[in-house]
Amino acid sequence: MKLGFVSSILGKYTFEETVDTAVDMGFKCVEVACWPHEKAARRYAGISHIDVDDMTEAAVTHIKEYCRKKSIEISSLAYYPNTMDSDPEKRAQNIEHLKKVITASNLLGINMVTTFIGRDQNKTVEQNLNIVKEIWPPIVEFAKKNNVKIAIENCPMLFDHNQWPGGQNLMTTPEIWQQVFEIIPSSNFGLNFDPSHFVWQMMDYIDPVYEFKDKIFHIHFKDVKVLKNRLSKVGIMAYPLEYMEPKIPGLGDIDWGKFVSALTDIQYDGYACIEVEDRSFENSDEAVLQSLRLSRQYLSQFVL
């Protein structure tokens, strides 16, 4: 496995500064955020370390050469919108930019894009599966023509009242994964597996590693802490942020030894990127850097 981090946490940095930071800390890869220029509404979104609207020959050459010179890889280009938004205009804009990210991933020789499948939060799972049939086969076909794999993260994108009732990402459980993979049986379409989202959904995060071993294209290392005193008061039907909080690896409830053991069992040798969303490390620029250092130090007992 190649250990890296998601670049969104270094939103103030340039691409070159982000790569330099990764190299200085001993990481082998970076998952590079590629959002549109306009300001995003949610945390960790709206960051762009590679401008996919500027894929000139000179820009492509510079990015490739800078990574080669620094001996680091880009694991994927990352863009996590809602491509199934209930607003047709937003939906179209998100799909258009996703295609730009796919094209850029091809030009840069990365051949991986990490994203969400999206969801109309006011419709049922069954209704959203029908939307998948309409929207996603052409996107996956576009990715295939560009020799790019699409890895869907399993975050429900349900945090508070703004995403109620259904959340903004459909592929949240193995049951739904299977149904979507039946709709889109493409070798270019798979998973960016983050175990933390299964923990707060009270689900097993080990067995799916084995069940979907051929569909795991990318890994996120993020921890989560279930606040049991809060859960006992608000219950699992509450907004999730009322009873859980994201943490850096080692400071939450995930058994990382068991999870990485499962990955080694299936001989996963791809990219595994730390995703920092821990508010305890956001009070200063140095604290952000410390979150990456501590995460790498903890995970180095499992992944070098």
Is residue 206 pLDDT above 70, yes or no?
yes
Longest dimension (CA), the chain: 57
Section 241-269 average pLDDT: 98
- pLDDT confidence of residue 141: 98
- Give the contacts of 82 (CB within 8 A, at least 6 positions apart): 90, 91, 94, 116, 118, 119, 157, 168, 169
Under the banding of pLDDT at 50, 70 and 90, the label for residue 11 is very high
Query: Whose structure tokens read 């991933």?
Result: 105
Q: pLDDT of 68-119, one tens digit each? A: 999 999 999 999 999 999 999 999 999 999 999 999 999 999 999 999 999 9
Q: What is the dihedral of CA 67, 69, 72, 74, to 10 degrees?
A: 10
pTM of structure:
0.96
Is residue 39 pLDDT above 80, yes or no?
no
Distance CA 85, CA 94 (A): 9
Residue 45: phi, psi to the nearest 5?
-100, 170
Give long-range contacts, CB 8 A cutoff, 24+ apart: 291-298: 291/9, 291/248, 292/5, 292/9, 292/21, 292/25, 293/25, 294/248, 294/250, 295/5, 295/221, 295/248, 295/249, 295/250, 296/3, 296/25, 296/26, 296/27, 298/248, 298/249, 298/250, 298/256
Mean pLDDT of the residues in the chain? 97
Residue 14: phi, psi to the nearest 5?
-80, 170
Is residue 45 pLDDT above 90, yes or no?
no
- pLDDT confidence of residue 109: 98
Q: Write out the two tokens for 53.
A: 């609207």
Query: Whose structure tokens read 């979150």?
Result: 291
- pLDDT confidence of residue 41: 66
- pLDDT confidence of residue 44: 78
Q: pLDDT of 148-170, one tens digit each? A: 999 999 999 999 999 999 999 99
- pLDDT confidence of residue 157: 96
CB 263 within 8 A of CB 302: no
Section 253-275 average pLDDT: 98
Q: What percent of the chain clears pLDDT 70, i.e. is strictly above it?
A: 99
E strand or H helix at 220: strand 216-221
Q: pLDDT of 113-143, one tens digit each? A: 999 999 999 999 999 999 999 999 999 999 9
